Structure 1
Amino acid sequence: MKKIALLILAIAMLPLASASPIHEWERNVTYRNITLHAPAVAEGSNGYVGVVMDINVTMMNGSGNVFVVTSPLTQLDMQGSARLAVDVAGMVTGRDVGEYDFLFQVESDAPVVGGPSAGGIMTMGAICLLMNLEPRDDMIMTGMINPDGSIGPVGGILPKGEAAAEAGMHYFLIPKGQSIEYQTVAERSGPFVFYHKVPVNVTQELYDNYGLIVKEVEDINEALAYFTNYSFKEETSTMPVITADYYQDIMKPLAEHVVQEANESYERAHFSFERTYIPTGYPWNNPRGRVSNSLSTAKDALDDAELALDNAFYYYSISKAFQSKINSLFVIHACQYYNGTDIETIYHNVSAAVSDAMQAAAETPINGLVSLQCVGAAQQRACDAERHLNTSARDPLDRLYDLSYAMERSGTVYWWLNLSTHFNESYEINETGISGLAEKYYDYAQSIVSYADILSEETGYSRQFVTNAYESLNDAQSNKETLSAASLFDSLEAIANANLAIEMIGASGDMLQDKMNRSDQMASYAIQRARNTSIEPILAVSYYEFGKSFELQDVVSTLTYYKYAYMIANMLYLSRGYQPKELQKTEAVLSEGDGNAHTF
């Protein structure tokens, strides 16, 4: 009872919380407003039916907020679509959307089925407001917006088109490749009912029945031309990315040095393996077989590294040599273990190396945008080494492999730290500036990763990209306070994976090749644009080259590294401020169902 009385007395002595006072102020606000229409599907008594939503967009000077009001209420991804729409509008126009607030008011006669299909038209509205453009009022569009500006696939094209025609629209823009839609048809044969899908030419169907002209569009810039007769000049780079003399002069000697180290490490591993007894164990647990396989893997990676070096793929050569060194060191560590060296002794040696590498990465000063990349990459690799050092694998060989990886990864820290000394530094940046960039991109990464997660859950696509994005996001959060450069690049990788998670929804076949080509152009242009402002995007170039090496083998890996390259080069360019892009007059042509063409 006495304890309770003391507790009550203590609570009574606490100061009472009070609401903050009301603040009032005045500021000048400039508004722009536009209303566009978007087709959607709603659940009717006899299945899904098309409806037309009104999307009213208001832009005002502000601080980068995006608000969404829906009537009736819709599903959660509308907020994510609006946020992404504004971000893409900023990318396409070259305007800093952080200087504005956007309000999207979405109204429909019926609750629409969830899905991001209004993302494209939301982006169109934001672009028109940023550029003060008047869009056509007899055109409607469906399609999700991808982070790279492309228009992603959606469902319900036919009922959406029917609703658009009934609302008086003359033109209907749909995502590329969706002119054919499949409908389920039931056929009865005696007492049995069979269901099968039949293709429907949406373009012909809507034109024949309603006179609605349907046009596929690949990206938001193409759609802008149809809506406004204006578009932005296509951004392409004609300059080589990985053949600049100074890049070869610096990266080639490093690649030669690392390949030589890998050769020497392999020879030591082969020598040790031939002279060490390693038990064969059992078919399901064969230590000698596993170590032998690692020796073969080391040799294969070494051969790839030498071939890449001969063909001037220097970063790829270094990466393959690194993989060879990991496997060779694992063989050496395994031989030491079976010759009587305990794992704790090996751990002690690796731990000291990792600790030294982490200290070097944390203490190396960052003076500009070149050293920001090199030190940031070094910090990321030091963290990677530390993670593998501290794994808790029970199997001795698993533990030895993690230790081998940690040791070799700690060595790559010094490669990156030394690289920055070979390039001319550009644009000073201090710790406050780095922390600000890290915070900015971390906040955006949180938003886009959450949105990608929602879309992935809804569609069943892209879970691996989402998983990768969350891993990078967690790393960014862990490093924010102590290793802000690493945190910045962790966030960029999280954004890149989230972008890919969104862009890969429904992608297959030729679409993958198109996406790879688009990502290639975006990355190479971003790299060239950074160079034009005297910033050498060495990390972006390295990732671009690594992605290029996978083009004929692994489209997904190529896309991933192209996206990394784009994100890094674009961040470097934007760190110097936004450069508004100029519009150009465009004559967009739509073909009717009967083959006639109209220019408008």
Structure 2
Amino acid sequence: MKKMLALLLITFLLNSAFAVVIKAPAVSLTDMGYVGVPINIQINVTKGDGHVFMDTMPLTELDMQGSARIAAKVAGEITGKDMNKYNTYIIVRSDVPVVGGPSAGATMTIGIICELMNWSLNKHVMMTGTINPDGSIGPVGGILEKIEAAKKANCTIMLIPKGQRFIDVDGNKVDAVEFGKKLGIKVIEVGSIYEAIPYFTNKKIVMKEYPENYIVEEKYQKIMKQLSEDVLKIANKKYENLSKELDNSYFGYEYQKMLLSELTASKTLLEKANQEYIDNKYYSATCSAFNALIKLETIEHTLKYLTGEEDVKTYLLDVQNEINYDKEVVYSKNLTVDNFEEILAGRVRISEAEELLDNAWKSYYLGHYDEAIKYGSFAKLRGESAVWWVSLYENNKSETINESKLKSLAQQYLDNAETISTYVETLYPNLVTGELENDLESAKKAYKQEDYLLAIAKSIDTCVKAEIPLVMFGDIEYLKKYSRNKINLAENLGITPISALGYYEYANSLEDNISKIMYYKYSSYYAQMDIDVIKELNKDNKESIDSEINIITNGNEKIVSANEETVTTKENNNGIAVIISAIVGGLIGFVGGYIARRASA
């Protein structure tokens, strides 16, 4: 029996030999209040099919499991690895129960990166911070207690989320840097995993910077310029006609005041759109002109309702027929490598038009006719905009692609949306809205209907809206740079990322930080979608799209293919571990059988 136990111990040690072990700070509730404690996290990455397995003792809350999945995704993106080809095993051990678990997200990401790259860790560094899907590090609680945990773990450097240096304790501000100095610990703020990696590894990963593709940029400008001209022309003409009609009409003080207010607001939007057009901000000009059109359409049909020229029900039925026609146009377009962006934009807008029309009918049956007209006007124009988008690219020579090729990609986006929404719900249960749940349900519905492009788009909607609470106080410049890098990569693959460029341009034009963050997120997600779609369609071809990263060690820069260098070393190690484990397992089986036979004899 002693031999059996010895061999089992050897097996355990061999399986752990190729794992990364990293320490993280946590907070435990004791009779004396909250105290900082270090926890051990062991990470193994092997060949697999994209699963993330977690074993915690004592049991932790669901938010740590959500953090683990996000951590694996981010680690794969930063290192350029396809995590669908790996399984990640995370073992968390603590001597005492800890409160929550999302603050270990950034630490787990570092551990997975080091496991993927076969890098050793500086054991004297510790970090706290949640992990966001874009690689930024989010805020946590218990900063001071966690600095104390770093002291207990004999660490000399403690990384904390950017913006959390000054902690509010009973109404007083405590400087975490000065607090750390008293304990002999250097406290440093970091805003992203990219900033944290050098402290743990003495290496720096820099995403390969691609220059803007000016040919693609010019193509985008040409497309959007024509669209903005068309929308501006329609909106300006409608404004002139309605201005004259309102000057010669009167419908009572309240209605007159409301209609004139809406007309003034539409004029302001048109002036903004015209200026944006002059400034070559064509997507922004299109958005401003479109918003003016919604107001003008509402005014036009409110006037018809007030004069008795048109009843609300007839108007909504007309809108329904127009949307049905627009939908036929959109879904009649052949899907190609060159137009999937425009087709996706059209399908999204048709989906939105149908949802808006549903709201219009609800308002109508509740007797809220003004509101019904507003929703109906928005729905009508949203349907028309879908046709505008699918008409942007009319090259019929491009090869048609089978949308079923995007099924697995749609499933990945749907899984990612569910992971992120669940993760955010555990962190901020009171912030999850019905709109977010509706987007996720819409994504699932589209997937079941085999509308995989729409499923991807609705999944992106879910992710962006879910992530706002995670990054609303984050570094906007980081998000802007992250988005621009994604766009540049897409452009250098020969893609014209119309949606990503449009959202990026629009974000730059906004002053409200939350809105800027949201549209930078949309921009980066759509650029990544373009890249993913091209990869998915080309994965059976001999020419594949390889990711590259820049690794800097002691000032020396090295560009590495994600499919080379440490992956080979890592997989060799995994192979060795498997072979040795098999041998040891065989020995255990032999010894176990021998002992069993002796026992039965």
Per the TM superposition, whether the score is higher than 0.5 is: yes
More displaced, 116-125 or 330-339?
330-339
Alpha-carbon distance change, 424 to 326 in structure 1, aligned in 2, over 3 angstroms:
farther
What is aligned with 2:236? 263
Alpha-carbon distance change, 350 to 167 in structure 1, aligned in 2, over 3 angstroms:
closer
Counting matched residue pairs gives 525
Which ranges in structure 2 are unaligned for 5 or more consecutive residues?
1-14, 536-544, 557-601
Kindly indicate whether residue 497 of structure 2 is the aligned counterpart of residue 537 of structure 1: yes
How many Å separate the matches in 2 of 1:452 and 1:151? 14
What is aligned with 1:471? 438
Q: What's the CA shift for 1:326? A: 1.4
What is aligned with 2:328? 359
How many Å separate the matches in 2 of 1:240 and 1:547? 20
What is aligned with 1:49? 35
Kindly indicate whether residue 58 of structure 2 is the aligned counterpart of residue 72 of structure 1: yes
What is aligned with 1:574? 532
Kindly indicate whether residue 172 of structure 2 is the aligned counterpart of residue 198 of structure 1: yes
Q: Deviations over 1:269-322 (max 9, x none)?
A: 223323344233xxxxx3332222222222121111111111111111111111
Q: What's the CA shift for 1:241? A: 8.1
Kindly indicate whether residue 273 of structure 2 is the aligned counterpart of residue 273 of structure 1: no
What is aligned with 2:22? 36
What is aligned with 1:20? none
What is aligned with 2:343? 375
Counterpart mapping for 1:157-196 below 5 A:
157-184=143-170
SS in 2 for 1:118: helix
Q: What's the CA shift for 1:503? A: 2.2
CA contact (8 A) 2:213 2:491 kept: no
SS in 2 for 1:149: coil
How many Å separate the matches in 1 of 2:312 and 2:493? 51
Which ranges in structure 1 are unaligned for 5 or more consecutive residues?
1-28, 185-196, 281-285, 589-600
Q: Deviations over 1:479-510 (max 9, x none)?
A: 22153222211111211222332223xx2xxx
Give the counterpart letter for 1:99 in structure 2.
K
Q: What's the CA shift for 1:198? A: 2.3
Out of 412, 416, 423, the residue aligned to residue 440 of structure 1 is 412
More helix, by proportion: 2
Among the aligned pairs, what percent are the same residue? 32
Give the counterpart letter for 1:431 in structure 2.
E
Alpha-carbon distance change, 156 to 586 in structure 1, aligned in 2, over 3 angstroms:
farther
Counterpart mapping for 1:464-543 below 5 A:
468-480=435-447, 481=449, 483-504=451-472, 507=473, 511=474, 515-543=475-503
Give the counterpart letter for 2:436 in structure 1.
A
How many Å separate the matches in 1 of 2:333 and 2:499? 17
CA contact (8 A) 2:443 2:459 kept: yes
Give the counterpart letter for 1:535 in structure 2.
I
How many Å separate the matches in 1 of 2:341 and 2:494? 15
SS in 2 for 1:244: helix
Give the counterpart letter for 2:420 in structure 1.
I
Q: What's the CA shift for 1:253? A: 2.1
Q: What's the CA shift for 1:467? A: 5.2
Q: What's the CA shift for 1:529? A: 0.6
How many Å separate the matches in 2 of 1:524 and 1:353? 37
Q: TM-score, normalised by structure 2?
A: 0.83
What is aligned with 2:519? 561
How many Å separate the matches in 2 of 1:424 and 1:522? 34
CA contact (8 A) 2:208 2:549 kept: no
Q: Deviations over 1:127-181 (max 9, x none)?
A: 0011110111222211111222122221222222222212322222222233332
Q: What's the CA shift for 1:202? A: 2.5
SS in 1 for 2:20: strand
Kindly indicate whether residue 287 of structure 2 is the aligned counterpart of residue 319 of structure 1: yes
Aligned-pair Cα RMSD in Å: 2.4
How many Å separate the matches in 2 of 1:237 and 1:449? 31
Q: Deviations over 1:385-436 (max 9, x none)?
A: 12222321122211111221122111101110111227996x9742112333
Q: TM-score, normalised by structure 1?
A: 0.83
What is aligned with 2:299? 331
CA contact (8 A) 2:320 2:357 kept: yes
Give the counterpart letter for 2:147 in structure 1.
G
Q: What's the CA shift for 1:524? A: 1.2
How many Å separate the matches in 1 of 2:311 and 2:194? 63
Give the counterpart letter for 1:199 in structure 2.
K
SS in 2 for 1:117: helix
Alpha-carbon distance change, 428 to 52 in structure 1, aligned in 2, over 3 angstroms:
farther
Kindly indicate whether residue 405 of structure 2 is the aligned counterpart of residue 449 of structure 1: no
Q: What's the CA shift for 1:235? A: 5.2
Q: What's the CA shift for 1:243? A: 9.2
Alpha-carbon distance change, 446 to 579 in structure 1, aligned in 2, over 3 angstroms:
same
What is aligned with 2:10? none
More displaced, 97-106 or 293-302?
293-302
How many Å separate the matches in 2 of 1:338 and 1:199? 60
Give the counterpart letter for 1:436 in structure 2.
S
How many Å separate the matches in 2 of 1:420 and 1:516? 33
Kindly indicate whether residue 368 of structure 2 is the aligned counterpart of residue 395 of structure 1: yes
Counterpart mapping for 1:58-457 below 5 A:
58-184=44-170, 197-208=171-182, 210-234=183-207, 236=209, 239=212, 244-280=217-253, 286-340=254-308, 341-368=310-337, 370-391=338-359, 392-393=362-363, 394-421=367-394, 429-457=401-429
How many Å separate the matches in 2 of 1:478 and 1:277? 47
CA contact (8 A) 1:273 1:332 kept: no
